[in-house]
């Protein structure tokens, strides 16, 4: 009694499909080897399973690379070479350049290496620092106002006029155009951390 013919279509059951793949792959490799030996044919066979596993066969004493090169010569096609090392070196060079620029920029904000900065960049840096100082002043004044309101709501005795004047004394250039050079006149007992815009 012979085996019945099966329809050639995708096997839906995953387990059955995997078993069939294993059996037929073994048969295909066996027939490929027989064809290679009997007919002195050069064969390169590459199989990828549905799970991504690779299986290959190459006629002895050749290597798969030699078979592929011969295929490319006969067909006139070239498989593009992906040398990731060159791409990685280029990206690494770009990242190093960005790091160097960021470090230089940070040194400028901390006041180091000011001699190599062009005048236009110095002017821009001064404007950024002034904006940052104004932000700090505004935030400090808002904090003082909030503290006064909190004291007034809590029934604590507060002196808003004197307190507001004290805040303005601490920040003498609030609301007026100022330069970073005027910052030297601000009392030294306060330390501020600038946040750039």
Report the pLDDT value the prediction gives residue 185, as an integer from 0 to 100. Answer: 46
Average pLDDT (88-104) is 88
Rounded to the nearest 5 degrees, what angle is found at the Cα of 133, between the Cα atoms of 129 and 138?
150
Lowest mean pLDDT among 8-12, 83-87, 92-96, 148-152: 83-87
Residues 6+ apart with CB under 8 A from 47: 25, 28, 54, 55, 56
Report the pLDDT value the prediction gives residue 39, as an integer from 0 to 100. Answer: 92
Map residue 15 onto helix, strand or coil. Answer: helix
Grade residue 155 by pLDDT with cuts at 50, 70 and 90.
Answer: low
Average pLDDT (130-147) is 90
Secondary structure percentages of the chain, helix, strand, coil, to 5: 60, 5, 35
Q: Tell which CATH classification among 3.20.20.70, 3.60.21.10, 3.40.1810.10, 3.40.50.720 matches the domain 14-75.
A: 3.40.1810.10
Grade residue 183 by pLDDT with cuts at 50, 70 and 90.
Answer: very low
pLDDT, greater one: 180 or 20? 20
User: In the predicted model, what is the mean pLDDT of the chain?
Assistant: 77
pTM for the structure as a whole: 0.38
Average pLDDT (92-106) is 86
Hey, which residues does 57 pair with through a beta bridge?
Answer: 45
pLDDT, greater one: 179 or 136? 136
Report the pLDDT value the prediction gives residue 26, as an integer from 0 to 100. Answer: 92
Grade residue 78 by pLDDT with cuts at 50, 70 and 90.
Answer: confident
Report the pLDDT value the prediction gives residue 80, as an integer from 0 to 100. Answer: 65
Where exactly are the structural domains of the chain? 14-75, 87-116, 118-150
Grade residue 194 by pLDDT with cuts at 50, 70 and 90.
Answer: very low
Evaluate whether 137 touches 194 at the Cβ level (below 8 Å).
no
Tokens of 100: 């160097």
Query: Each residue of 5-60: pLDDT tens digit?
Result: 878 888 888 888 889 899 999 999 999 999 999 998 899 999 998 888 899 999 88
CB-facing half-sphere around the CA of 15: CA atoms within 13 A: 0
What single string gives the DSSP state of each residue in 87-147?
Answer: HHHHHHHHHHHHHHHHHHHHHHHTT-S-TTS-HHHHHHHHHHHHHHHHHHHHHHHHHHHHH
Report the pLDDT value the prediction gives residue 140, as an integer from 0 to 100. Answer: 92
Beta strands 54-58 and 44-48 are antiparallel
Which of 21, 78, 16, 20 has its CA nearest to residue 53? 21
For the cut 90, the answer to whether the pLDDT of residue 138 exceeds it is yes
């Amino acid at each position: 009694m012979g085996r019945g013919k099966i329809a050639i279509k995708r096997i839906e059951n995953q387990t059955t499909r995997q078993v069939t793949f294993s059996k037929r792959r073994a048969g295909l490799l066996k027939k490929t080897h027989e064809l290679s030996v009997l007919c002195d044919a050069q064969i390169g066979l590459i199989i990828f399973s549905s799970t991504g596993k690779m299986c290959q066969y190459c006629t002895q004493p050749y290597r798969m690379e030699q078979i592929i090169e011969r295929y490319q010569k006969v067909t006139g096609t070239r498989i593009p070479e992906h040398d990731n090392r060159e791409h990685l070196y280029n990206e690494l060079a770009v990242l190093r350049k960005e790091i160097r620029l960021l470090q230089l920029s940070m040194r400028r904000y901390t006041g180091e290496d000011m001699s190599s900065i062009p005048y236009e960049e110095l002017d821009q840096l001064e404007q950024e620092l002034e904006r940052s100082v104004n932000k700090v002043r505004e935030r400090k004044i808002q904090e003082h106002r909030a503290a006064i309101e909190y004291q007034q709501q809590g029934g604590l005795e507060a002196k808003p006029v004197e307190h507001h004047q004290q805040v303005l004394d601490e920040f003498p250039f609030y609301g007026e155009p100022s330069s970073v050079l005027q910052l030297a006149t601000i009392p030294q007992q306060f330390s501020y951390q600038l946040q750039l815009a």
